[in-house]
Amino acid sequence: MMSESLYGLMAKFNSPEEVLAATRAARDEGYRAMEAYSPFPVEGLDELLDYKPTIQYWVLIGGIVGAITGFALQYYASVISYPIIIGGRPFNSWPAFIIIIFELTILFAGITAVFGTLGLSGFPMPYHSVFNVEDFRQVSRDKFFLCIESQDPKFDANRTRAFLESMNPEDVTEVKP
């Protein structure tokens, strides 16, 4: 079968409106394994692709871990490891610990946000099939792409190409795996 030697078929568009329309049409046709590429975030594409970001849950966990770390660190150091009376304060003088708890909450949550979003998107990724398309270089400049992947059960090299060409793209290219 021809589709096995293909990653997918990629159509190139000139505007965010065109790629949105094409993605919507592809979705109506029943395609699911596809991805749209754009030089800047285009509102609505992720919904058409049934994608919901999950990073917020990770960030919440990161923040909670940070807060617990902040308190545990100060409690351990001030109460368990080396209790020493400073200014007549109790060993567990938690109001004075709030600021470091706060800072570590932000630190852990922020680190999770950055590395989490990179990790969830699979970065760093040294190789990806879409880069085999010569024109794909324009994706970060001013072109918009829709790639229907060959792993989609509805994918058929000829019919999918005919569908993509009906969306008035600049061109349709095969993506080598």
Partner 1 sequence: MAAKTDYAEVPVIAPGHSYASVTDKVSGVILTKKTPKGWLLGFGIAFLFMMLMLFSLTVLFAKGVGVWGLNNTVAWGFAIVNFVWWVGIGHAGTLISAILLLFRQEWRSSINRFAEAMTIFAVANAGLFPIIHTGRPWLAYWLFPYPSMLKLWPQFRSPLLWDVFAISTYVTISLLFWYLGLIPDFATLRDVADNKLVRRIYGIMALGWRGAARHWSQYNRASLLLAALATPLVVSVHSVVSFDFAVGSVPGWHTTFLPPYFVSGAIFSGFAMVITLAIPIRKFYHMEDFITDRHLENMAKIMLATGLIVFYAYIMEVFFAWYSGNHYEKFMIYNRMTGPYAPFYWALIFFNGVMPQLLWFKKVRRTTWMLFPIAIGVNIGMWLERFIIVVTSLHREFQPATWAHYAGTFWDWSLYIGTLGFFATLLFLFLRSMPMINMFEMKELIHHVSHRGKEH
Half-sphere exposure of 26 (CA within 13 A, CB side): 35
Stretch that binds partner 1, among 1-9, 30-38, 150-158, 161-169 (CB under 8 A): 30-38
| Residues 147-176 close enough to bind partner 1 by CB under 8 A | none
Stretch that binds partner 1, among 1-9, 31-39, 154-162, 167-175 (CB under 8 A): 31-39
DSSP state of 43: T
Regarding 78 and contact with partner 1 (CB under 8 A), the answer is yes
Regarding 142 and contact with partner 1 (CB under 8 A), the answer is yes
Regarding 37 and contact with partner 1 (CB under 8 A), the answer is yes
Q: At what angle do helices 157-165 and 16-29 cross, to 10 degrees?
A: 140
CB of 152 to partner 1, least distance (A): 15
Residue 85: CB atoms within 10 A of its CB come to 8
CB of 158 to partner 1, least distance (A): 26
**CA 9 from centre of chain:** 22
CB of 46 to partner 1, least distance (A): 4
CB of 160 to partner 1, least distance (A): 19
CB of 1 to partner 1, least distance (A): 26
Regarding 39 and contact with partner 1 (CB under 8 A), the answer is yes
120 contact partners, CB below 8 Å, separation of at least 6: 54, 55, 58
Contact code string over 96-135 relative to partner 1, x by CB under 8 A: xx-xx-xxx-xx-xxx-xx-xxx-xx-xxxxxx-xx----
Q: At what angle do helices 55-75 and 94-120 cross, to 10 degrees?
A: 150
Beta strands 144-149 and 34-37 are antiparallel
Q: What is the Cα–Cα distance from 157 to 174, expressed in whole angstroms?
A: 9
Q: Please identify, using beta-carbon distances, which residue of 92 and 156 lies nearer to partner 1.
A: 92
